[in-house]
């Protein structure tokens, strides 16, 4: 998309979707938009802008296209093993329940992985997992517990598939897998724009993985401060493998190793 068209498209998306594209690294966004305009609007940005305003379904398709939903169950297994074996037990010690937030949950694989880990620790009951994303279609699927195609659950063991999912038959897609109610009932899915909407607070654990990589450096720093405010003192932030906190971003956090950062205790409070 050329330099003349891009600002107009960006302003229209801000107005109609409330999404500020300036917060995102531009190269990838421009490439995605250009290929979408080429495919759906014969490469003409004016057609794109007209359809954005006239067709609600088109606007929804654009929203879904702008967000990059790649995800999987237990993405980065070593980090998830650390979460299950070290981080969660420490967070849960002396506490009746866990309050967690999967921020940028995509289609739900991340909050479900957390629910499975908690169940294996015998602590799923009483846990509450907020799962949020900007992409409405992804949020709906998360709320419905899927369903997930066989290829999407292929990374789980047979035992995990049996224990945590019910099989459904579908004509086109073969067997589909939907989370069982005891998993689904612990997860609340909501639409939330991390760049604009208010956050809840008092979380023991915030998982925000492979989302901040798309944001400009200053935007990432602001978001990290906001996540810090959303965590209780001693609460833990779990980030993506390539998103290590450096310099000023580390302020107020303690490095725990791996992809984990603990919110520093307020003076006089005990560690989790």
Ligand X SMILES: C[S@@+](CC[C@H](N)C(=O)[O-])C[C@H]1O[C@@H](n2cnc3c(N)ncnc32)[C@H](O)[C@@H]1O
Residues within the interface to ligand X (CB under 6 A): 67-71, 75, 104, 106, 110, 133-135, 138, 192-195, 209-211, 240
* CB-nearer residue toward ligand X: 103 or 272: 103
Minimum CB–partner distance for residue 221 and ligand X (Å):
15
DSSP conformation letters of 246-263: -GGGGTTEEEEETTEEEE
Residue 255 bridge partners (DSSP): 261
Minimum CB–partner distance for residue 80 and ligand X (Å):
11
Minimum CB–partner distance for residue 70 and ligand X (Å):
5
Using alpha carbons, select from 88, 175, 186, 174 the residue that is nearest to residue 142.
Answer: 186
Minimum CB–partner distance for residue 139 and ligand X (Å):
9
* CB-nearer residue toward ligand X: 21 or 37: 21
Minimum CB–partner distance for residue 131 and ligand X (Å):
10
Q: Which residue is nearest to ligand X (CB)?
A: 67
Helix 56-66 crosses helix 45-54 at what angle (to 10 degrees)?
Answer: 120
* CB-nearer residue toward ligand X: 259 or 272: 259
Q: How far is CA 106 from CA 71, 141, 156, 189, in A?
A: 7, 9, 18, 10
* CB-nearer residue toward ligand X: 141 or 262: 141
Provide the phi-psi class of 127: left if phi over 0, else alpha when psi is between -120 and 50, else beta. beta
Instruction: Return all residues near 16 (Cβ < 8 A) that are at least 6 apart.
Output: 52, 53, 59
* CB-nearer residue toward ligand X: 71 or 179: 71
Minimum CB–partner distance for residue 208 and ligand X (Å):
7
Measure the CA–CA gap between 114 and 108, rounded to whole angstroms. 10
Q: How far is CA 90 from CA 42, 94, 187, in A?
A: 55, 9, 22
* CB-nearer residue toward ligand X: 67 or 82: 67
Instruction: Return all residues near 66 (Cβ < 8 A) that are at least 6 apart.
Output: 13, 17, 19, 21, 29, 32, 33
């Amino acid at each position: 998309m050329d330099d003349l068209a891009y600002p107009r498209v960006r302003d229209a998306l801000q107005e109609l979707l409330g999404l500020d594209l300036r917060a995102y690294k531009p190269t990838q966004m421009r490439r995605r938009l250009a290929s979408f305009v080429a495919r759906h609007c014969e490469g003409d940005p004016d057609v794109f802008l007209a359809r954005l305003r006239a067709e609600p379904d088109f606007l929804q398709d654009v929203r879904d296209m702008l967000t990059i939903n790649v995800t999987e169950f237990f993405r980065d297994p070593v980090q998830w093993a650390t979460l299950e074996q070290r981080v969660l037990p420490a967070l849960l010690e002396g506490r009746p329940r866990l309050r967690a937030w999967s921020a940028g949950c995509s289609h739900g694989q991340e909050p479900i992985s957390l629910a499975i880990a908690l169940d294996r620790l015998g602590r799923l009951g009483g846990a509450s997992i907020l799962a949020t994303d900007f992409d409405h279609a992804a949020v709906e699927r998360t709320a419905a517990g899927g369903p997930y195609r066989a290829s999407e659950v292929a990374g789980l063991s047979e035992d995990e598939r049996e224990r945590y999912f019910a099989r459904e038959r579908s004509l086109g897609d073969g067997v589909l897998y939907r989370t069982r109610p005891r998993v689904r009932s612990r997860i609340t899915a909501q639409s939330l724009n991390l760049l604009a909407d208010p956050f809840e607070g008092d979380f023991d654990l915030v998982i925000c993985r492979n989302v901040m990589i798309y944001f400009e450096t200053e935007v990432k720093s602001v978001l990290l401060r906001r996540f810090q405010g959303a965590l209780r003192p001693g609460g833990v932030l779990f980030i993506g493998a390539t998103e290590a906190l450096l310099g000023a971003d580390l302020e107020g956090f303690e490095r725990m190793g791996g992809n984990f950062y603990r919110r520093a205790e307020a003076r006089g409070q005990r560690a989790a």
